[in-house]
Amino acid sequence: MKKNNFFNSLVFKLILGIIIGIFVGRISNEGAIVAIDSVKRIIGDLIGYIVPLIILGFITPAIVSLKESAGKILSVTLVICYLSTVGAATMSFLAGKAIIPKLNIASNVGGGNAIPESIFKLSIDPIMPVMTALVTSILFGIAVIVTNSETWEKMLIELNKIVLSIVNNVVIRILPLYIATTFAVLSYEGVIISELPVFLKIILIVIVGHFIWMTVMYSLAGLISKTNPKEVFKHYLPAYLTAVGTMSSAATLPVAIECARKSSTLDPKIRDFGIPLCSNTHLCGSVLTEVFFVMTVSQILTGQLPETANMIVFILLLGIFAIAAPGVPGGTVVASLGLITSVLGFNDTGTALMLSIFALQDSFGTACNVTTDGAVVLMVTGIFDKVPGRNKESIANK
């Protein structure tokens, strides 16, 4: 029975999608890869369209349900996200100073196959940008609390049910296909086969750093909540694999919510509020990666690491920029290009090389972001003493 359950699980479907995608990409001709790329873009657009609905359908009702504590929980969550981001960046900086000068890293990245222009194009634009949805959901939720509108409170509860149905019946079902087509395109382009070995050393180092930071965050979350953090992270494998395949915190949000819902130690109200919020404000893995990579690129182009004072300024500002970065592929590094050029003084060659290297591991940084969101929510649950089963006090009375 367990065997059959595993083969029907999302984890198995995601792994199968990755394997099939790499194989199909290697054997595809131009005509086939154009069709595959078109399917990938359509599914990606569809998921992108649904993401703002998920944010509105989860964060706004969650804020309303939190009542008087909404402002406090929002503030605490954002502070933890910032501290986690800066902490991950600082760890990466210290590791970079110790490791990078000892590495001999090649700067030439091999070129891959270009995807031919598709004749068929179907654009599905979201009803609003992700950050607009995030701000709207927060303001709207607070406004409903202030006006004490019972009608809108009931409507938001119904909206939550509708969006959850869309997540379960649409997004979850098409994710394996989306991941398969994504890896097929990457495999055809040669990114996986040709470019990855060039930077294998630093990518492996960064991935190890991701797991170290996840361990730190879940250990702290366990101490703060006085619970076993395993009850949260043991459910996160589907979200981790989805993030690896989609390279997007926003696209992984539906799966992340499902994973978090399986935990018995997360307060439901804080969970449904915190997970969508963190998907756009907690990018510790991406920031950890970016700090290590800017130091690597500086070593490649100038033969030395950036000045420590510049890196401190860069890290502190990067934590703020990360909160405002979109949860889409490469969102963190794109949002912080101004910092890379102004604070660290990178030229066009440096920024281009930075984008290239970052793209090779973006999926793993995203997976770290998504998985560590569970630790942030567990911390908030512990801070407000709302671990399910430990007490029955209403959060509105905190």
Q: Rounded distance, CA 375 to CA 265, Å?
A: 11
Read off the CATH number of the domain in which 238 is found. 1.10.3860
C-alpha 363: how far from its chain's center?
9
The answer to whether residue 395 is domain-embedded is no
Predicted TM-score (pTM) of this structure: 0.67
Predicted local distance difference test score (pLDDT) of residue 104:
67
The answer to whether residue 398 is domain-embedded is no
Q: Rounded distance, CA 245 to CA 239, Å?
A: 10
The answer to whether residue 3 is domain-embedded is no
Predicted local distance difference test score (pLDDT) of residue 371:
93
Backbone angles phi and psi of 110, in degrees to 5: -65, 145
Predicted local distance difference test score (pLDDT) of residue 166:
84
In this structure, the number of other CB atoms found within 10 A of the CB of residue 391 comes to: 9
Token readout for 293 is 């990579």
- DSSP, res 385: T
Q: Rounded distance, CA 337 to CA 261, Å?
A: 36
In the three-class reduction of DSSP (H, G, I as helix; E, B as strand; rest coil), residue 205 is classed as helix
Nearest to 70 by CA among 60, 80, 79, 82: 60
In the three-class reduction of DSSP (H, G, I as helix; E, B as strand; rest coil), residue 254 is classed as helix
The answer to whether residue 2 is domain-embedded is no
In this structure, the number of other CB atoms found within 10 A of the CB of residue 112 comes to: 16
Give the structural domain span for 320. Answer: 8-384
In this structure, the number of other CB atoms found within 10 A of the CB of residue 76 comes to: 18
Predicted local distance difference test score (pLDDT) of residue 108:
45
The answer to whether residue 160 is domain-embedded is yes
The answer to whether residue 392 is domain-embedded is no
The answer to whether residue 389 is domain-embedded is no
If one counts the domains in the chain, the total is 1
Predicted local distance difference test score (pLDDT) of residue 10:
66
The answer to whether residue 12 is domain-embedded is yes
Q: Give pLDDT tens digits along the chain (398 positions).
A: 344 465 766 667 777 887 888 899 888 888 888 888 888 888 878 877 887 887 788 778 877 876 656 678 888 988 999 999 999 999 999 999 998 888 765 444 445 566 777 666 777 888 887 668 878 888 888 898 888 888 998 898 898 889 878 877 887 788 788 878 877 887 787 655 554 555 677 888 999 999 999 999 999 999 999 999 999 999 999 999 888 877 777 778 888 988 999 988 998 888 888 888 888 788 899 899 889 988 887 877 777 888 899 999 889 988 876 765 555 555 566 667 667 877 888 875 667 667 656 766 777 888 999 999 999 999 999 998 877 766 544 343 44
